Structures are given as C-alpha cells and as structure tokens.
Amino acid sequence: MLKKKLHFGYFSRFDLTLVVFLGLKHLSSEFCEKMACMKLGSKTDAFRRQGQAWFCTTGLPSDIVVEVGEMSFHLHKFPLLSRSGVMERLIAEASEEGEEKCSICLPDIPGGAKTFELVAKFCYGVKLELTASNVVYLRCAAEHLEMTEEYGEGNLITKTETFLNQVVLRNWKDSLRALQTCDDIISYDDELNVTKRCIESLAMKASTDPNLSGWPIMEYGGPMQSPGGSVLWNGISTGARVKNTSSDWWYEDASTLSFPRYKRLIAVMESRGIRQEIIAGSLTFYAKKYLPGLNRCQGATDTNSSTCVAPVALESPPSEEDQKLLLEEIDRLLPIQKGLVPTNFLFGLLQTALILRVSPSYISNFEKRIGMQLDQATLEDLLIPNFSCSMETLYNVDCVQQILEHFLAMDQITGGASPSLVDDGQITASPSLTPVTLVAKLIDGYLAEVASDVNLKLPKFQALAASVPDYARHLDDGLYRAVDIYLKSHPWLSESEKEQLCQLMDCQKLSLEACTHAAQNERLPLRIVVQILFFEQLQLRTSITGCLLVSDNLDGSRQSGLAGPTERGWASTARENQVLKVGMDNMRTRVSELEKECSNMKQEIERLGRVKSFTWGNVSKRFGFKLKSRMCSAQEGSISNQNTESRKNEKLKDRQGQHKKNSTPKSR
C-alpha cells in the first residue's frame, strides 16, 4: 500500500507519521528527494516567475500544476498536501486517474493568484511577512484550504489569526488597512467575522477621547511621551508638549473606506454613544469627498473650512448613478436635530440633488432639513439656480417657497408661530419670534434679488411675499424695495396688477425715509401714494404730540426741581426751550401743508378717476410740490428759524426777571 502511494507521488498524513516513528530505511530515493524539497524551499529565491507561470526551483521536476485565475503554479504535491486538507483531497482525486503529473484548478480562492503565491511559499517553509494588507486574504485562504492544526503545528490559520488579534486589531492604521481589504471576502465574512472585528476596533478607538487614550498619537508613529506629557528623546524629556488631538482626527481615514464599510462603521459608532455632531461632521466630510458638485455649490461660503480637515479631491469622481445612491444614503444617515449640520452644506446637498434629479422624496427631505434652520441661512444660500429644462426663471423660487413653508410649519409646532398679547395691548415676542424676524428679513432680501427677473410671474412673487406672517416684519421697508424693483423690471403691468402687488405692503409699517421715497415714486399707483401720504401725516402728528409732552415735562421739571440756578444755567434752559418750540412750529407747518396736499389730491382723483393715462407725475406737475421729510431735529429748526441775537437776549432777560419775581416769596 505504501509503495503504491510512493509510486504515484501521493502521501497521506498517516503514512508520514509511520515514516517518522518506524524509521523505515528501505524507502525509495524518490521519497527521500521529496522529503528534502522542504529544506530547499526555505530559501526566498526558491520561486521564480516566467510570464503567467510560477516555478519552484528545488531541483526536482514539478508533479502538479495549480491553476488560479490566469496564473499557473508548477509545484510539488507533498508540500501542499502536508498543510491543506483541501489540497489533500484534490490531489487524491487527481492521482486516481493514473497520471503522473496532475492539474488542479482553484477558481474561488480568496485574494486570487497573489494570495495563493504566499500560501504556496508557506507550504514550502518560506517565512511569510504578514502585514495588515495581506493578513485578511491569507486568513480567508487558509480557511478555504482547511489549513488547520490537524495538518501541521503552527499552520496558516493559527498564524494569521494570532497576527490579526495581537497586532492588527490593536492598531488604528492596521485595522483600517485590514478593513479596506474586506470588500473581496464577503462570502467568508459571516463565518470569520473579520469585518465586524475590524469595525468594532475602529469604532472603539474613534469613540475614545484621543487625549486620554493616546489614539491616534501612538498609532501615527509619534514620539514617546513622559508621564507628564512632554516628548521624550532617548528617554530624556525635551520639554515640548504633544499637541491635543481634535475629535475629527479620524474623518480622513474613515473616508477611504467603501460606503458599505463606512456605513457599518457609523452604525457601530452610534451604538457606542458617540456624539451626533461628530457623526454629522464625518458624514459631511465623506459627502464632500465623493460628491464633486457639492464643493462647487458651496463655493467659498463654507464656514467649517477652518475647523475641519479639508477632503482630498479624487482623481476619478464616481459616476452619476453612484453619486445619486450616495446622496440618498447620506440623507438617511444624517442626524435630524437642528444645528448639527451646517446650513450651507444642506443647501449644497439640495442643489446636488436637483442636478442629479434624485427622487422627489429626497429633495423634499432636504427642504425640510433646511426649513428647520432657515434662520441660520444667508442670502447666497437661497439663490438656488433653476436646473429645470423649462428654465422659466433664473432662480428656483418654488424651492424657496417650500423651504419657507416647512420653516413656518415647524415654528407653529414649537409654539412660536405668532406673538401673544398682554393686557395693555403691547405685543410680547414669543421665544421663536427672533428667528421668524430673521427669516422675514432674509425673504425680503431674496425677493429684491429675484424681482429683477423678467420671467418671474406676479402670482409667484406675491405668493412668496405673502407667506411671511405680518408680525414677522417690524418694518416693510425691505418689502417695499422688492416691490419697487419688480415694478421697475415689469413696466407692462396694468394699474390693477400694480395695486394688487402694492397691497402686500403695510403703509403704516414704512419708515419716514421709505414714505418720502414712495411719495415721489412715479411707478406706484396713485391710490397707494395717497395712503402713504396719509400715514406719513399721522406719523408727524404723533411726533408732534410726543414733542409737546416732552416740552411740558421739561418745563415742569425745570420750575420745580431747580431752586437757585446760576445765570448760565437759566440761559441754557431758555435756549433749549426756544429750540424745542421752533421745532414744533416747523412740524405744525408741515402737517398743514400735507393736509392741503391730500385735500387737493382727493379732488384731483375724483375729477380724473376715469382717465386711463392719469399718472402721479401729472399730479405732481399740476400742483408743483415736492415732498421732503423734515425730521424733528431741534438743531436744524433752530438754525433755519434763528432770530437775531438781540431779540434772543431780550427774551432771555425777561424770562430771568420773571423767574426772580416768582422765586422771591419762596426765599422769604
């Protein structure tokens, strides 16, 4: 039986045991040569490559050819079968056919021909250099070939498993490199759990404070440290301190993983309780690296560029389909809490989604995310180009409309949709009134930017302007500016359309400067101008009433509070009173002029109401007046209506004399 096996070049593990223990000396010379090939194969130059074939230079002719992919390995049977259970069975099956030189095909070996080359060298006794880049392939190949301890002590399974646990998984960089090689061993992943162990190792190190545990300072080959934290050189403290590591140190390394592996890493990190803002930062980094359009959308407005490592640009960007899938996965993984993700980054994701034409549901998700923190956006963020085929407008106004509606809906849910009234009728701001005010100002600025687009339809402009609640605008100056720009860019609007557009404004919430500009604006309908003049008159009357109250209070305080002022103090008091009275006289004159102008304009409107070509320019030319706001400035009133110096001195002396008379009884 033994001689028959020797003739075919096949040796069983049982027969080799008999050889060792029985000390058989009558073995053939062929068997002795085959035993010696193990020693010859221990040299590193025992293998050479010729084209697509590998040869073992042991001095013996090869008796087996192993086909792995496109590569052929011309080897010997004994070294292979003595280490692998699979090779033992395959060689036995091939030897039964009676051929002296057999051929075996291994199409499914993990790692392909490169890994089998290392396995073959190991079988011949060549010392392997295990690294983080090849240990996963060798571990799976050893499992595939059944290289267990039954076929030799210190077999490949044991060696690779020991190296994986004691070296690779204890090191950040090695764990990362090993995980990067796991994409090709999916079929062995469930059984060996190599991917799971690498991911858990990375998650543990990333979720640990690097300043406390030493990650990744020791992993990057940094200098040794003393217990006090200073850098050591040859055991001597240099006095230099190691720089603290920020929480984003692992972003760049994690971005080198394929997305399935990266997604599993993020899931494990979340289960370990890592902070959501750190997860959001890593997802932001990953998206910027693999979505080239994202960086173009954000431009130079990235506020996190100084605090976060910049992603390295790829030589070959992913395809549009891969980018679309990645964008959808990023939407699923991003935290939904407000403020965790930069607003300009969300706008970049939205623009990229519009360019790639992803599903409308994902576009709606990005709009909702932006709506939650719209008060943190800028005007540049809102200027989203229109990527539709119709190109009706320059900017995507519909998208901004949806974002605004999501913001208002969220504001209502949080209880800050409208201000509350107190007993005295004063408006008390709710906690979210400030964000609403910021959004109102932002939308007014956006309306002013898009108003110059001649393709922007009036209903769309009106819908966006009317979406902002009335209480959100303290002043309508921004809205008036947008309306004026729209009227200027759309001169073909009819009078009814102009009046309908101007109804968006509240004339009572225009400042004095805006009222002055609107009263002279020939683009506004005449009815709106009359309303503005009327409310300007009310503002002036209110100002006069306030000034009168201030004057009365001032006179009373001066008479009751000052018992014996000096001559210089009485002169200053008299001068201030005189200036205040002059200012009030000027305002009374202005109010009278406005009342006359309003009366004349009403008569003119009634007389020319049916004339279609009637414009405000005709009224202004007919009456020849120009409106100019005169602020209640005491200094300007005193200069323009200043009397002669002699008359002022006389009034001052009279006032001082009368005061002395009034104060004489008190002194007694």
3-state secondary structure 176-210: HHHHHCHHHCHHHHHHHCHHHHHHHHHHHHHCCCH
Question: What percentage of the chain has pLDDT greater than the value 90?
Answer: 37
What is the rounded distance in angstroms from the CA atom of residue 69 to the CA atom of residue 645?
Answer: 112
Residue 664: pLDDT above 90?
Answer: no
Q: What is the pLDDT, as a whole number, of residue 212?
A: 52
> Which tokens is 55 given?
């040869």
Mean pLDDT of 556-569: 50
**What are the E-state strand segments in 29-76?**
47-50, 53-56, 64-68, 71-75
- Among 171-185, 277-291, 570-584, 647-661, the minimum mean pLDDT is found in 647-661
Residue 16: pLDDT above 50?
Answer: no
Task: Give residue-wise pLDDT tens across range 64-103.
Answer: 889 998 889 888 888 999 999 999 998 888 877 766 678 8
- Among 46-55, 300-309, 445-454, the minimum mean pLDDT is found in 300-309
Q: What is the pLDDT, as a whole number, of residue 597?
A: 74
Task: Give residue-wise pLDDT tens across range 94-109.
Answer: 877 766 678 889 888 8
Residues 6+ apart with CB under 8 A from 286: 251, 254, 255, 262, 311, 330
446, 393 Cβ separation under 8 angstroms: no
Of 14-28, 220-234, 388-402, give the range with the top mean pLDDT. 388-402
Q: What is the pLDDT, as a whole number, of residue 262?
A: 95
Task: Give residue-wise pLDDT tens across range 409-451.
Answer: 988 887 654 444 333 434 444 444 589 999 999 999 999 999 9
Residue 562: pLDDT above 50?
Answer: no
Mean pLDDT of 466-495: 92
284, 341 Cβ separation under 8 angstroms: yes
What is this structure's pTM?
Answer: 0.70
Which residue did the predictor score with more confidence, 526 or 7? 526
- Among 337-341, 537-541, 638-642, the minimum mean pLDDT is found in 638-642
Residue 61: pLDDT above 60?
Answer: yes
Which residue did the predictor score with more confidence, 417 or 534? 534
Q: What is the pLDDT, as a whole number, of residue 276?
A: 93
Of 12-21, 113-122, 229-238, 570-579, give the range with the top mean pLDDT. 113-122
Confidence tier at 397 by pLDDT (50, 70, 90): very high
Residue 253: pLDDT above 70?
Answer: yes
Of 15-29, 317-331, 426-440, give the range with the top mean pLDDT. 317-331
User: What mean pLDDT value characterizes the chain?
Assistant: 75
What is the rounded distance in angstroms from the CA atom of residue 370 to the CA atom of residue 147?
Answer: 56
What is the rounded distance in angstroms from the CA atom of residue 148 to the CA atom of residue 142?
Answer: 8
Q: Which amino acid is at 138?
A: L
What is the rounded distance in angstroms from the CA atom of residue 220 to the CA atom of residue 176?
Answer: 12
Residue 269: pLDDT above 80?
Answer: yes
Tally of CB atoms within 10 A around 244: 10
Confidence tier at 305 by pLDDT (50, 70, 90): very low
Residue 667: pLDDT above 50?
Answer: no
Confidence tier at 115 by pLDDT (50, 70, 90): very high
What domains does the chain contain, in order, with CATH numbers? Answer: 37-193 (3.30.710.10)
- Among 406-415, 502-511, 558-567, the minimum mean pLDDT is found in 558-567
CA angle centred on 650, ends 649 and 654, rounded to 5°: 115
Mean pLDDT of 611-640: 41
> Which tokens is 205 given?
């190190």
**What are the E-state strand segments in 146-284?**
230-233, 236-241
Across 316-332, b (16+ Cβ under 10 Å) vs e yields eeeeeeebbebbbbbbe
Q: What is the pLDDT, as a whole number, of residue 660?
A: 46
Residue 549: pLDDT above 70?
Answer: no
